[in-house]
Amino acid sequence: MRAWGALLATAAVVGTGMAVQAPALADGREVGGSGSAYFLNDSWSSKANHEFTYGQAKDRVYTGDWNGDGKDSLAVRRGQTYYFSNSLGGSASTVLNYGKATDTVLVGDWDGDGKDTLAVRRGQTYYFTNSLRGGKATTVLNYGKATDTVLVGDWNGDGKDTLAVRRGQTYYFSNSLTGGKASSVINYGKASDKVLVGDWNADAKDTLAVRRGNVYYISNRLSGGAAAIVQAYGRATDTTLVGDWNGDRKDTLGVRRAAVAGPNASQQAAIDLARELLDEMAYSKVYLIDDLVYDGVSEADAEYAISYLEKRGELDWNEQALEAARDYLSYSGLSRDGLLETLADEDEFTDAQAEYAVGYLEDHGEVDWRRQAVRAAHELLSYDPDFSRTDLVQQLEWAGFSTEHANYAADQAGL
């Protein structure tokens, strides 16, 4: 334990409750942003599987499990009135007047009963309540400084959400709504990072995720080190939500953005066809447009369909390049340079997209260039069984394999 110093003080009555897994939130704060369109994902992929409009574009929005069913949903705030829904996109099940219209509000499961409720922050004083109704606060706490950035999470897996202070890239975590020492203090990411909180692996403990543009770096530990998941999702301008939308105890991403007019009939047909083509194989942008036009779609509608899918997070060109790379490696012996050239020159992915795909395969142990050299050697020998060792090694080197890998492949081929 490291010293909490004077960050926490003056704790009042704390409610009790049986500890269960607390639903985790983006960071316990207001979601932010604007718009009434929501695109939520139950898995780590670039495609949303919950799409709906909810509330008004200017609503203040929160996420939480309001009824203890294990699934997070939305609440909207208009002034001091809160509208809580227990389903994604459904009507309000609870309407509550709470606090002042100027209050800063946090969300968390403060007593471990499996239901999220509200807390009001006024400067450095916090007023916690354990039910979605009016009345006096269950807990009143002076915490940190009025200028602190505060996060909410269940840091130790006891089923109760507590607070953490962020100051630049330093985070001070407390495991109780009382004064005392910090349970842990870590340096994480950069001071400029946007940070989210969630239970990403269903171990009942909340950890951090860094957002940089539309790329998210997910960690499953409150410590430094490499990210457990790296995922591109949505647009860099999106407002991000985090929640367990399907009750599998794993938090995943969602975005909030302004609703836009829907596509017309020909545009929708282009979108539907693009989805069908993408289900069949991986495409670069150039080839997808070409195939759509070949199938009778106008170039303008093809461009619209692709932009539509990109904006909704359904189409990630890096992921398409990665899928194409996996497909090539499944049946062909390609060197690193050969795979890059195939992706960029034949499939017309950009150099950056090709590099992403190959780098991902290497970083995740999905490719062994020695084995690729052996496969290439057998392919060459199937075309010409009379290759000498020298000729085979030279051919493999010409294909982009290192001398070491070429000789290894020749050994494996018995030459």
For residue range 29-41, list pLDDT tens digits in order: 899 999 999 999 9
Other residues' Cβ atoms within 10 Å of the Cβ of residue 105? 20
> Does the pLDDT value for residue 181 go beyond 90?
no
pLDDT band at 14 (very low <50, low <70, confident <90, very high): very low
Partners of 74 in the β-ladder: 63
Full-prediction pTM beyond 0.75? Answer: no
> Does the pLDDT value for residue 64 go beyond 60?
yes
> Do the beta carbons of residue 21 and residue 43 sit within 8 Å?
no
Distances (CA, A) of 321 to 46, 47, 276, 316, 401: 14, 16, 17, 9, 21
What would the DSSP string read from start to end of 303-362? HHHHHHHHHTT---HHHHHHHHHHHHHHH----HHHHHHIIIIIS---HHHHHHHHHHHH
Range 8-257 has CATH code 2.115.10:
yes
Contacts of residue 409, defined as CB under 8 A and 6 or more positions apart, other chains included, come to 370, 373, 374, 376, 377, 392, 396, 401
> Does the pLDDT value for residue 357 go beyond 60?
yes
For residue range 215-226, list pLDDT tens digits in order: 999 999 988 778
- Share the mean pLDDT of the chain: 88
CA distance 306 to 285: 8
- pLDDT at position 180 is 63
> Does the pLDDT value for residue 170 go beyond 70?
yes
In the chain, where the domains are located: 8-257, 261-315, 369-412
For residue range 228-244, list pLDDT tens digits in order: 999 998 888 889 999 99
pLDDT band at 262 (very low <50, low <70, confident <90, very high): confident
For helices 285-294 and 299-311, the axis angle rounded to 10 degrees is: 130
For residue range 93-114, list pLDDT tens digits in order: 999 998 888 999 999 999 999 9
pLDDT band at 124 (very low <50, low <70, confident <90, very high): confident
- pLDDT at position 20 is 36
